[in-house]
Amino acid sequence: MAEFSTPLSMGDLKLKNRVIMAPLTRSRATADRVPTPMMAEYYAQRASSGLIISEATVISEEANGYLNTPGLFTDAQTQGWKQVTEAVHAKDGLIVAQLWHVGRVSHPDLLEGETPVSASAVQQAGYVSLLRPKREYVVPRPLKISEIQAITEQYKQAAIRAKAAGFDGVELHAANGYLIDQFLQSKTNLREDEYGGSVENRARFLLEVVDALIEVWGAGRVGVHLAPRGDEHDMGDANPKETFGYVLEELGKRKIAFFFTREYLAEDSISDYMKQRSGGVPYIANMRLSREDAMDLLQSGQADAVSFGKAYIANPDLYERLLADAPLNELVLETMIGSQVAEGYIDYPTLEESSAEVTA
């Protein structure tokens, strides 16, 4: 039976354990989306995890939907990430870059007045995250086929930069209602061309991008991030099992390194079904997992690895705490996003540091 400490091979990635740090937007990069030395320290603190998946990293300025999120489309950004990967590797860690285009989850105020793009002109309900004063999302502009191809090339160029920056691989962000997901799910894809309609057409963009990433990295260092519930950013699909089952079947044919699902455990969860359709692609489970949930998933073989998000923000030594069944630091929500200071970012104590304070 697999345990937290059991090593794992995911494609060409050799993990020392099965506890994964989930991608976590922290908005700590510079205004030009350059990773900072403080970010290098943050990731290095968490390098005891089996694998770190970086925070979502935009592939172009037009891909953004949030201030101060990092990018991988300039030389300065590449060099900034190189500091991060070197710091993680110095602690015997592994880190892959999560590549990101938000699509309609943006606003003209973040895009120099340009209209956000998507699969179709379907407006997202709600208000733009973190922009003040509050403003509603706008109706996005459907991408032309030539633009879809251009964005695929941007993903490829970002993957090339990720290699130059010293990452160990890449993960395609195809979840949470961002651009790839907007093409995949039927609620947001009303197209009538080769990128819309059937599940094969709606999945085309995702698979074309994966193929472009494989050209750069080889299949054994490419992962895909999926959200089959469609419970973020006003998403939805008429038949999630058909849609995501098809995607996993195709990813299985490509023998990618892993797939990751953001899906809480419930009777209607389909991640296990997706794993069955994948032909053996390693599966990383995520979302609201307790220690006991994670242990059960590993021991039963339902998941190959388990991932934690918010718990990793507050606990740089989360892997060690899970092994020891030790108490966790409490997350401070007020400092989670968007500050250029150490507070709430690199100052959460390890269990050893907390014990030393008590005995001092």
Q: Active-site positions?
A: 178
Residue 231's CB is within 10 A of a number of other CB atoms, namely: 15
Residue 50 tokens read as 């089996």
- Token look-up 């320290």 returns 41
Residue 272 tokens read as 């296990």
d(CA 333, CA 312): 13
CB within 8 A of 280, min separation 6: which ones? 252
Residue 314's CB is within 10 A of a number of other CB atoms, namely: 16
Q: Tell me the helices (H) and strands (E) count for the chain, helix number first.
A: 12, 12
d(CA 130, CA 335): 13
d(CA 201, CA 178): 17
